């Protein structure tokens, strides 16, 4: 059994001074990678590639997440902001290109095709979610479920590499971990990123007419107004309850597995997802 060291291996592909100096990068998708590695590491035929597959998926995910951080607003940018935008685009492209290189060098051409198809599907789902959001045709629950689905998109196809006894467990475990991650992300959002958040959609569903009008008619919301909404609707409390419920479901799924060691790893993952609630996964900049 190989130890889990994917973040350390990935570091050499992302640790570049120019990127680190001029822009912030996304959090490493550690819970999903831990889940994938734990399963692959126990397969008779896939175990020898467990590190490679986990590494390349982490790089693809980082590429996608880095591109998602690119500011597409048309407002004039400072030189610093323009450089940050350009480097995020280039960094996202670079991380994504690395997966082609690593898999082709290892002769894993079929996996290149599998992951390329997954990238297309994830981008299709993102477009659908974007359209719903622009049309204000989205509930808070739909938003968080769709966000979790996007997080799962690059990982769903690995069910084909699992032994039969694990195949039926993979989809629900993956979706549950992704839902926990999505809720944690929402807990970490600051007031200046309230628009489009779970709290935003929750208030649109449950707020009064004036609150809904202010949310939809004003591009820039006052911090005091956002704070008052967060308190009134107990956004953080509701998300915390949702995270605990999700984590408990992960625990119940782990205990159904026909492997005490795998179940123990997933229970450790559950604790990492829960504690500390105030912390987010380290960004690549912080992992340096």
Buried b (16+ CB within 10 A) or exposed e, 152-175: bbbbbebeebbeeebeebbeebbb
pLDDT for the residue numbered 69: 84
For the chain, 288 residues long, give each residue's pLDDT as a single digit of tens. Answer: 789 999 999 998 887 777 777 677 889 999 999 999 999 999 988 899 999 999 999 999 999 999 888 876 666 677 777 777 777 888 788 888 899 999 999 999 999 999 999 999 999 999 999 999 999 999 999 999 999 999 999 999 999 999 999 999 999 999 999 999 999 999 998 777 899 999 999 999 999 999 999 999 877 788 999 999 999 999 999 999 999 999 999 999 999 998 999 999 999 999 999 976 544 444 444 444
Q: How many CB atoms lie within 10 A of CB 5?
A: 13
Give helix 170-188 / helix 30-40 axis angle, nearest 10°: 160
pLDDT for the residue numbered 3: 93
Residue ranges and CATH numbers for the domains of the chain are 6-287 (1.10.600.10)
pLDDT for the residue numbered 287: 44
The rounded distance, in Å, linking the Cα atoms of 61 and 92 is 9
Taking phi over 0 as left and psi of -120 to 50 as alpha, with beta for the rest, 205 belongs to alpha
pLDDT tens per residue across span 148-182: 999 999 999 999 999 999 999 999 999 999 999 99
């Amino acid at each position: 059994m190989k130890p889990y060291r994917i973040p350390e291996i990935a570091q050499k592909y992302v640790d570049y001074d120019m990127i680190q100096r001029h822009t912030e990068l996304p959090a490493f998708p550690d819970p999903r990678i831990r889940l994938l590695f734990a399963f692959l590491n126990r397969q008779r035929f896939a175990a020898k590639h467990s590190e490679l597959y986990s590494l390349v998926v982490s790089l693809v995910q980082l590429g996608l997440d880095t591109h998602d951080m690119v500011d597409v607003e048309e407002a004039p940018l400072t030189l610093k902001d323009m450089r940050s935008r350009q480097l995020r685009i280039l960094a996202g492209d670079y991380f994504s290109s690395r997966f082609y290189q690593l898999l082709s060098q290892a002769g894993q051409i079929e996996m290149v095709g599998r992951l390329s198809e997954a990238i297309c599907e994830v981008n299709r789902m993102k477009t659908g979610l974007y359209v719903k959001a622009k049309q204000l045709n989205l509930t808070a629950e739909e938003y968080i479920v769709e966000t979790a689905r996007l997080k799962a998109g690059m990982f769903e196809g690995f069910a084909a590499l699992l032994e039969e006894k694990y195949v039926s467990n993979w989809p629900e475990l993956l979706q549950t971990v992704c839902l926990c991650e999505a809720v944690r992300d929402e807990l970490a959002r600051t007031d200046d990123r309230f628009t489009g958040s779970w709290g935003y959609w929750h208030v649109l569903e449950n707020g009064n007419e004036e609150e809904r009008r202010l949310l939809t008619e004003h591009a820039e919301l006052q911090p005091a107004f956002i704070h008052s909404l967060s308190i009134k609707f107990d956004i953080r409390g509701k998300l915390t309850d949702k995270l605990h419920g999700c984590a408990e479901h992960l625990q119940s799924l782990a205990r159904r597995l026909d492997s005490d060691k795998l179940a123990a790893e997933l229970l450790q993952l559950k604790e990492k997802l829960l504690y500390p609630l105030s912390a987010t996964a380290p960004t690549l900049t912080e992992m340096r």
